[in-house]
Amino acid sequence: MSDTDRKNPGDEDASGTKQTGENICPTCSGSGRISEKPCPDCGGSGRITAIVGDA
Ligand SMILES: [Zn+2]
């Protein structure tokens, strides 16, 4: 139950997976909030895990 294992709806893959990187959440633009509520895509962190590999 560690934070690094948690996957948010906006994550393209699990954190720590090969060819992934941290990106600003496009849903909330990194604020972590939408209309004063925690952003559902990033879980309020303002960042998502995105796949950066080009293969
Ligand atoms: Zn967000």
Q: pLDDT per residue over 1-55, tens digit each?
A: 455 567 889 898 887 778 888 999 999 999 999 999 999 999 999 999 998 876 5
Q: How remote is the CA of residue 32 from the centroid of ligand 1, in Å?
A: 5
Nearest to 9 by CA among 18, 19, 28: 28
**Distances in Å between the alpha carbon of 51 and those of 4, 31, 34?**
16, 21, 24
Instruction: Sketch the domain layout of the chain as residue ranges.
Output: 1-55
- Residue 43 makes CB contacts below 8 A (sequence gap 6+) with 6, 8, 9
Q: How remote is the CA of residue 24 from the centroid of ligand 1, in Å?
A: 8
Query: What's the number of CA atoms in the CB half-sphere (13 Å) around residue 37?
Result: 3
Q: How remote is the CA of residue 8 from the centroid of ligand 1, in Å?
A: 9
Q: How remote is the CA of residue 55 from the centroid of ligand 1, in Å?
A: 26
Rounded to the nearest angstrom, the gap between the alpha carbon of residue 37 and the centroid of all alpha carbons in its chain is 16
